[in-house]
Amino acid sequence: MKKDLLSVSDLNRKEIEALIEQALHMKKEGVAPLLSGKNLALLFEKPSLRTRVSFEIAMYKLGGHSIYLSPEEVGLGKREPVADVARVLSRYVDGIAARTFFQETLRILAGHSSVPVINALSDLEHPCQALSDLLTIYEKKGRLAGLNLAFIGDSNNVANSLLLAACLLGMNFHIASPPGYEVNGEVLSQGSEFAALSGSRIQLTSDPYEAAKDADIVYTDVWASMGQEAEAEQRRLAFSGYQVDNELLSLAKGDVLFMHPLPAHHGEEISAGLLDDPRSVVFDQAENRLHLQKALLATILLPNPKVLDK
């Protein structure tokens, strides 16, 4: 049976912890050519820096090969139906990492592909980002359960994946968003179910200072993502009080970590110079995309996966 990763919720707590342990081991000890002869298609509707490079280098270091397919080359769902693309690529490659505008596109790909499909970003979730963020937090804090993660800003795809991951692992998730930009209802419902089992607490507020109080991690993201350019000015007004700066970070714990998935807009969601603040682990996050994806690819593409077996 193939194993897709379309959502963080496709994993359980044990599987996420095993991925983090494997990624830390690979980061420290290096990797063997575990994926020699394996091929990964990078099927992207959106451009990328970290996602594309980290997947390509991860495959290279594992002895495999990747092929990048741009929007112009494929025309996913326009030039050719998504289902047909999935069936064709399944004849050529051993896995597909897809970066799409819509989660439904991923579902169609996975439904018609005979090889694993990995969500490399959609409108609903960004599981690879969230998993690598957990790796960074664990690396810095030595634990995950019981920590307070405060997300300031838009309840976007990264926030959705972080909420689900935190609730699976026993982390408390605080999120501050302006009216009209609250957490997706289905994500909140699923996260609440996970939290009831793990002991996590979810705090929803419109006050960023309330969310940041006693936080172990303060996290933010851009106010307008790719595909939302037409809403940029409207979003700047809505989020004008949600900038992460020294004043907000002063409400968190003294050893708080500041996180951002990049790219960052200085003077908007963060104050100028915050990426270089001693509390910032933003570039460690970026590096850990590579290490987590090495662990993920090895787990999903090997003939006898251990980490993802339930």
Residue 309 has pLDDT above 50, yes or no: no
Number of H helices, E strands in the chain: 12, 9
- CB-based contacts of 281: which residues, under 8 Å, 6+ apart? 136, 140, 257, 258, 259
Per-residue pLDDT tens over the stretch 42-96: 999 998 999 999 999 999 999 999 999 998 888 888 889 999 999 999 999 999 9
My answer on whether 119 and 133 are in the same domain is: no
Q: Are residues 12 and 103 in the same domain?
A: yes
Name the phi and psi angles at 12, rounded to 5: -110, 180
Helix (H) or strand (E) run with residue 117 in it: strand 117-121
Do 52 and 190 lie in one domain? The reply is no
Q: Which residues contact 178 (CB under 8 A, 6 or more apart)?
A: 206, 238, 239, 241, 242
Report if residue 97 sits inside a domain.
yes
Tens-place pLDDT, residues 280-305? 999 999 999 999 999 999 999 997 65
Q: Are residues 133 and 47 part of one domain? A: no
Residue 100 has pLDDT above 80, yes or no: yes
Q: Based on the structure, what is the number of domains in the chain?
A: 2
Strand partners, 42: 68, 97
Q: Are residues 171 and 210 in the same domain?
A: yes
Mean pLDDT of 264-279: 96
Two tokens at 173?
A: 């998730």
Q: Is 137 within 8 Å of 163 (Cβ atoms)? A: no
Sort residue 266 into left (φ over 0), alpha (ψ -120 to 50) or beta: beta
Mean local confidence (pLDDT), 194-215: 98
Token pair 């915050």 is at which residue? 274
Sign of CA dihedral 16, 19, 24, 27: negative
CA distance to 41, 86, 115, 241, per residue, from 80 (Å):
16, 10, 19, 44
Which pLDDT band holds residue 225 (cuts at 50, 70, 90)?
confident
Does residue 196 belong to any structural domain of this protein?
Answer: yes
Residues 228 and 185 in one domain: yes
Task: Tell me what the pLDDT averaged over the chain comes to.
Answer: 95
The answer on pLDDT for 307 being more than 50 is: no
Provide the percentage of residues in the chain whose pLDDT is more than 90.
Answer: 90
Is residue 1 included in any domain, yes or no?
no
Q: Which domain holds residue 85?
A: 8-126+289-301
**Residue 157 falls within a domain, yes or no?**
yes
* Helix or strand (DSSP H, E) at 41: strand 39-44
134 and 260 share a domain?
yes
pTM across the whole model: 0.95
For 154, phi then psi, to 5°, come to: -70, 135
The CATH number assigned to the domain holding 41 equals: 3.40.50.1370
Tell me: do 74 and 185 sit in the same domain. no
pLDDT at 226: 66
Looking at the structure, tell me whether residues 172 and 282 fall in a common domain: yes
Whether 137 and 274 share a structural domain: yes
Domain assignment present for residue 229? The answer is: yes
Summarised one tens digit per residue, pLDDT across range 118-147 is 999 999 999 999 999 999 999 999 999 999
